[in-house]
Amino acid sequence: MPDRLTMQDPRTQYPKPPFPKQPQPRPGIAGKLEPRPDHGEKSYIGAGKLKGRKALVTGGDSGIGRAAAIAFAREGADVAIAYLPSEEEDAREVLALIEEAGRNAVALPGDVSDEAWSRQLVEDAVKGLGGIDILVINAGRQQWRENVGEVTSDDFDKTIKTNLYARHWITQAAVPHLPVGASVITTASVQAYEPSDILLDYATTKAGIVAYTKALAKQLVEKGIRANVVAPGPFWTVLQASGGQPQEMVAHFGEHSRFGRPGQPVEIAPVYVLLASQEGSYITGEVFGVTGGAGIA
């Protein structure tokens, strides 16, 4: 993995497309991606910014959630990760990395599109960690469809339940447990601002995440709690190869960014650390775009 602490050309710091076509059944396994993503397993170095904190990260087995979970542990936080049972292989690697950092790791396998589980996972995280003061709602569903006629009601239902309903259920369950100084971070997307024609339902939910979180921030600031959004651009995660994009687009994923490559999950992890830490004490209701130069409106 590249040395992230040495000054270098960001255009060539990580692999560029073309990549091999590599279809996987949803939700996919990160370890089977080629090239293998850098979630910070060897490259993220912490500085104690979250010492003693307790974080719950949904979708923490792979992609951006995995990178955030690893970074949080390296910064001194205990971490609970929620993930689908079929993602156990990836999740076990993350849990081991959290423990290697000397932190408490809590496994929460289940499907957040189920309301009862979305609420229960919060209670289980509180029990396992002894509380929660960082909440990262990151789990998401993405499935491309060629045109509007192919987006079925089942597609819309599954995407909205995973990306929006679960966010609401988890937030409702978590807020009573969040102390003054806590931080809520949601993962949206550049798709909220520049939607792709093949991601109708996904882009719709990502725009909803932005609105929901900005409204939530206005409520929570009265409790001394901050809430912010991270809006990634093209990041090299298993979400893309497991049905999130056509395989032709996976092969060239990220090549139209200013850097000519997709971002690696570890490259966005420091944003989550900032928003989770007390260093972000004056940041709430904001959207942080990390888009490879595309920007957000």
| Residue 115, pLDDT above cutoff 80 | yes
Q: Residue 198 is encoded by which pair of tokens?
A: 């093949």
The domain limits of the chain are 49-290
The string of pLDDT tens digits covering residues 173-215 is: 999 999 999 999 999 999 999 999 999 999 999 999 999 999 9
User: Minimal CA–CA distance to 209: which of 225, 223, 229, 194?
Assistant: 229
Q: Residue 63 is encoded by which pair of tokens?
A: 């992609």
Q: Are 68 and 275 within 8 A, CB to CB?
A: no
* Active-site hit among 14, 83, 193, 202: 202
Respond yes or no: is residue 193 known to be catalytic: no
How many CB atoms lie under 10 A from the CB of residue 243?
18
Q: Which residues contact 234 (CB under 8 A, 6 or more apart)?
A: 253, 254, 256, 257, 262, 263, 291, 292
- Mean pLDDT within 157-176: 97
User: Minimal CA–CA distance to 141: which of 122, 156, 152?
Assistant: 156
Q: Residue 236 is encoded by which pair of tokens?
A: 């090299």
Q: Which three-class secondary structure state does DSSP give residue 55?
A: strand
**Spatial separation of the C-alpha atoms in residues 183 and 181, rounded to whole Å:** 7
For residue 144, report the phi and psi dihedrals to the nearest 5 degrees.
-75, 150
Fold of 49-290: Rossmann fold (3.40.50)
How does residue 2 score in pLDDT terms, banded at 50, 70 and 90? low
Burial 151-173 (b: 16+ CB within 10 A, else e): beeebeeebbbbbbbbbebbbeb
Share of the chain above pLDDT 70, in %: 99
Residue owning tokens 């919060």? 122
pLDDT score for 1:
54
Q: Which three-class secondary structure state does DSSP give residue 79?
A: strand
pLDDT score for 293:
93
| Residue 31, pLDDT above cutoff 90 | no
Residue 107 pairs in a beta bridge with 81
pLDDT score for 297:
62
